Amino acid sequence: MTQATARAHTNIALIKYWGKQDEQLKLPQNNSLSLTLDHFYTDTTVIFDSSIATDDFQLDGQKLAPQNAIKIQQLIDHVRQLSGQTAHAQVISTNHVPTSAGLASSASGFAALAAAASKAAGLDLTQRDLSRLARRGSGSASRSIFGGFAEWQKGDSDETSYAVPIQETVDWEIAMLTVVVTAKEKKISSSVGMKRSVLTSPYYSAWVANATQDLTQIKQAIASQNFEQVGQISERNAMRMHALTLSSDPSFTYFNADSLKVMQAVNQLRDAGIPCYYTMDAGPNVKIICRPTDAPKITAVLSADFAPDQLILAQPGPGISYLD
């Protein structure tokens, strides 16, 4: 019996990944860039045990039915192929983040799974190869291998699609205030939403071209520690991504009434001289990019509509760590 436990933190994309060029390998249509956060994370233990008869997957204390664990099964099978491990696996994961609510639980989940499974199987992977392995479970998980700012390079094959660190130690003022408007699972998954946008939005090719430009500009802004430019580019990129959902056929959106309320509040705060910017992934929850020193003022405004446990301030977080 061999086992390992790993922790991975969520990352929130500032330049979004929305659409695949290869569904099976999860190769994206464009490069993306994210900020790993300290507050949200997943702990995963993988045990390879020749005495058990089948693979067993548990999430937050609940056994997963086979139909709900297909991606986990595929990643574990791939680790067995890479390592020569023949034993069945027990996977025990705990999400310290709402699952499937647009808060990147799949990113932290599959990054932690890739790290724990590969170590338990006796593999000694480089960070690049660990990023490639995590990508097979969830594309955005490739970025959670690294702390701080990381870029997922789209590549054109399994070997060339992986994340790289851009600035792992973030020693300047930037934070993210997450407004959890709902912790419920979203109705349209990221995978389904992406595929519909790629196939039906008339603006998809323009999205890829503009995302490429946004990436170049935000990397320059990060290098110069220009908070306002990072925020402006991130907000613009997020809204362009959500324009794809609205222009798909049939149209859909991840916004709800509270999402719009938060976005309006951010606009009003900015008009009042407090620099802050919103970004959203495939879910209704809003992330506000702000300076830590401005977070109390922003929280005070939002507290009129949201409870304290719905307003969570996160700082730049670390990459993969092993807990045993």
Residue 15 · residue 33 · CB < 8 Å: yes
At 170, the pLDDT band (50, 70, 90 cuts) reads very high
Query: 41 has which bridge partners?
Result: 9, 96
The DSSP-derived string for 264-324 is HHHHHHHHTT--EEEEE-SSS-EEEEE-GGGHHHHHHHHTTTS-GGGEEEE-B----EE--
Is the pLDDT at 324 greater than 60? The verdict is yes
Same domain as 99, residue 145? yes
Alpha carbon distance 31, 155 (integer Å)? 8
pLDDT in tens, 221-251: 999 999 999 999 999 999 999 999 999 999 9
Same domain as 275, residue 254? yes
Residue 214 in domain: yes
Alpha carbon distance 108, 178 (integer Å)? 16
Residue 294 · residue 13 · CB < 8 Å: no
Query: 322 has which bridge partners?
Result: 6
pLDDT in tens, 42-51: 999 999 999 9
pLDDT value at position 259?
97
Among 115, 146, 170, where does a domain finish?
170
Among 110, 141, 170, where does a domain finish?
170
Alpha carbon distance 100, 244 (integer Å)? 20
Q: Which two tokens stand for residue 4?
A: 């390992």
Same domain as 103, residue 208? no
pLDDT in tens, 100-140: 555 668 999 999 999 999 999 999 999 999 999 999 999 99
pLDDT value at position 152?
98
The DSSP-derived string for 73-119 is HHHHHHHHHHH---SEEEEEEEEES-TTSSS-HHHHHHHHHHHHHHH
Q: Which two tokens stand for residue 231?
A: 């925020």
Q: Which two tokens stand for residue 245?
A: 């959902």
Q: Which two tokens stand for residue 77?
A: 């099978």
Same domain as 244, residue 183? yes
Q: What is the CATH number of the domain that holds 145?
A: 3.30.230.10
Residue 174 · residue 230 · CB < 8 Å: yes
Is the pLDDT at 88 greater than 90? The verdict is yes
pLDDT in tens, 276-319: 999 999 999 999 999 999 999 999 999 999 999 999 999 999 99
Same domain as 104, residue 30? yes
pLDDT value at position 13?
97
Residue 197 is part of which domain span? 175-314
Residue 135 in domain: yes
- For residues 87-101, give the mean pLDDT: 84
Residue 144 · residue 162 · CB < 8 Å: no
Alpha carbon distance 118, 202 (integer Å)? 41
Same domain as 35, residue 124? yes
- For residues 169-177, give the mean pLDDT: 97
Q: Mean pLDDT in the chain?
A: 95
Q: Tell me phi and psi for residue 314, to 5 degrees.
A: -125, 145
Is the pLDDT at 58 greater than 90? The verdict is yes
At 186, the pLDDT band (50, 70, 90 cuts) reads confident
Residue 322 in domain: no
Same domain as 163, residue 297? no
Same domain as 209, residue 92? no
Number of Cβ within a 10 Å radius of residue 9: 28
